[in-house]
């Protein structure tokens, strides 16, 4: 969806008129400002857009906007927010609200960020990116269900944005797990835990036209697994079994894969029966050269007070998803984090920063 008018496009078309001569008009300064902005000459762009503003040139909202973006690229978010606010005061453009909302979110002002993103969507209900950006902010706020609704709307409007926002969402979730997973419930003790990697076989559905499938791995319980926040969809890598017709002429086959199996033995030290456990297996790097790996699982169980149970789950990775390897095991500290518990009496315990507390299995 385009939010720049023909007038704006003509204003910022790069021409040779702004080069190699003394500038006299606001129009010429705006042209050169755009040239400098696109060449990442940020100081030059700021100077030119400032000159246009001082000369009270045309389309000042865009001069404020691009000057704000130049300030942001220079690492001056506060000044960027001021300039975007000036742009919004002149014209209520959804892109201005969307970008200011993102800047506010980066500054930790989540309520103001949501207000701006709501306004962008109100002005332009078909603006896909605003839904994705709002989904990220809602995820940071722990509003997982609403975040997923925003992501679905974003991808419905523009499917090309899915890889970008899924990767960003995974980064948010990984940070949340790493930050908050040190909180422990009082009535569960982790006795031991381990993981293995071993050859396995998976069923390959009958051959047919390839369709895109997500490279995000799925655990045996059906939950999407967090691992590589930068992993991108690999495109047509095979046929999604859920899309298979009821009958087919071809015969299914199998292929060899590496399956990762995770186990955690826990003891119920409380007074209530535990019927569900949301847990994570974490690999935390010993240095800054590696990133946290986190694998999240949900287990339906029945652990009476004083009893022990071993939780088991597994992951078959897809695409470029990062998985642990025995040869670099010494580079990480491993631990189990209990993120949520469900009890037989219907009560719940959740880590204050646990992610996915409202997320449905998919």
**Of residues 362, 194, 204, the one with CA closest to residue 283:** 194
The pLDDT tens digits for 215-239 are 334 334 333 333 333 333 333 222 3
Residue ranges with strand state E in the chain: 188-204, 211-212, 236-238, 253-268, 274-285, 293-303, 308-315, 332-343, 348-350
d(CA 32, CA 38): 10
Print pLDDT tens along the chain (362 aa): 444 443 344 444 444 444 445 788 889 999 999 999 999 999 999 999 999 999 998 889 999 999 999 999 999 999 999 999 999 999 999 999 999 999 999 999 999 999 999 999 999 999 999 999 999 999 888 888 899 999 999 999 999 999 889 888 877 877 766 665 567 788 999 999 999 988 877 665 554 333 332 333 433 433 333 333 333 333 322 233 333 334 444 555 677 778 899 999 999 999 999 999 988 888 888 887 777 788 888 899 999 999 999 999 988 876 556 778 888 888 888 988 888 899 999 999 887 654 444 333 22
Look up residue 232 and give its two tokens.
Answer: 């991108």
CATH topology for 6-176?
1.25.40
Tell whether pTM > 0.85.
Answer: no
78 within 8 A of 94, measured Cβ to Cβ: no
Q: What are the structural domain ranges in the chain?
A: 6-176, 184-350
The pLDDT tens digits for 289-347 are 777 788 888 899 999 999 999 999 988 876 556 778 888 888 888 988 888 899 999 99
Q: What is the pLDDT of residue 16?
A: 40
pLDDT, averaged across the chain: 78
Residue with tokens 């809602």: 138
């Amino acid at each position: 969806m385009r939010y720049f008018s023909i007038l704006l496009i003509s204003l910022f078309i790069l021409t040779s008129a702004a080069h190699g001569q003394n500038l006299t008009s606001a129009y010429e300064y705006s042209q050169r400002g755009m040239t400098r902005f696109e060449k990442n000459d940020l100081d030059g762009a700021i100077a030119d857009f400032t000159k246009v503003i001082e000369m009270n040139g045309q389309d000042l909202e865009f001069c404020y906007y691009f000057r704000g973006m130049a300030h942001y690229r220079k690492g001056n978010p506060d000044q960027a927010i001021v300039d975007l606010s000036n742009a919004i005061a002149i014209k209520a453009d959804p892109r201005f609200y969307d970008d200011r909302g993102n800047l506010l979110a980066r500054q930790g002002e989540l309520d103001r960020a949501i207000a701006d993103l709501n306004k962008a969507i109100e002005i332009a209900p078909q603006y896909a990116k605003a839904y994705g950006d709002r989904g990220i902010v809602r995820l940071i706020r722990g509003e997982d269900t609403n975040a997923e609704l925003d992501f679905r709307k974003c991808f419905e409007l523009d499917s090309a944005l899915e890889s970008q926002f899924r990767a960003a969402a995974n980064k948010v979730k990984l940070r949340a797990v790493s930050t908050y997973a040190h909180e422990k419930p009082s009535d569960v003790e982790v006795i031991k835990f381990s993981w293995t990697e071993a050859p396995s076989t998976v069923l390959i559905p009958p051959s047919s036209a390839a369709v895109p499938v997500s490279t995000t791995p799925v655990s045996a319980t059906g939950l999407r697994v967090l691992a590589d926040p930068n992993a991108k969809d690999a495109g047509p890598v095979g046929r999604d079994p859920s899309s298979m017709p009821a009958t087919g002429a071809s015969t299914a086959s199998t292929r060899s894969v590496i399956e990762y199996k995770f186990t955690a033995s826990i003891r119920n030290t409380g007074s209530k029966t535990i019927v569900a456990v949301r847990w994570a297996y974490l690999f935390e790097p010993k240095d800054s050269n590696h990133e946290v790996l986190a694998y999240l699982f949900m287990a339906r169980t029945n652990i009476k007070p004083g009893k022990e149970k071993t939780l088991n789950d597994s992951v078959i990775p897809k695409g470029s998803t990062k998985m642990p390897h025995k040869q670099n095991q010494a580079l990480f500290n491993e631990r189990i984090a209990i993120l949520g518990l469900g009890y037989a009496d219907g009560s719940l315990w959740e880590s204050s920063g646990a992610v996915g507390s409202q997320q449905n299995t998919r």
